[in-house]
């Protein structure tokens, strides 16, 4: 996974690309309120810190103990 150190937030498609998931998976997580987001104008953005928390939650749920 390659989240940019420069970006503080991502749109759905760039985030999907960065984490290797489909945009549909990201939208589903947003719909289910598993992943937090906010709007600026008409753009839906996801804060980098929220992405990292969401991924960590999934890592723990999967039982993956590798750091």
Q: Does residue 18 lie in a domain region?
A: yes
Which range of residues forms the domain containing residue 21?
A: 9-61
Q: Does residue 56 lie in a domain region?
A: yes
Q: Does residue 49 lie in a domain region?
A: yes
Tokens for 27? 């939208």
- For residues 16 and 37, the answer to whether their CB atoms sit within 8 Å is no
Which pLDDT belongs to residue 4?
A: 66
CA 18: distance to chain centroid? Answer: 9
Our count of domains for the chain comes to 1
Q: How confident is the model at residue 5 (pLDDT cuts 50, 70, 90)?
A: confident
Q: Does residue 32 lie in a domain region?
A: yes
Q: What is the residue whose two structure tokens read 């103990």?
A: 65
Q: How confident is the model at residue 50 (pLDDT cuts 50, 70, 90)?
A: very high
Top pLDDT among 65 and 55 is at 55
- For residues 11 and 40, the answer to whether their CB atoms sit within 8 Å is no
């Amino acid at each position: 996974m390659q989240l940019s150190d420069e970006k503080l937030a991502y749109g759905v498609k760039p985030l999907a690309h960065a984490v290797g998931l489909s945009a549909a998976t990201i939208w589903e997580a947003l719909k289910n309120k598993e992943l937090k987001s906010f709007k600026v104008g008409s753009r839906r953005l996801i804060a980098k810190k929220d992405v990292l928390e969401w991924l960590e939650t999934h890592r723990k749920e999967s039982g993956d103990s590798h750091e």
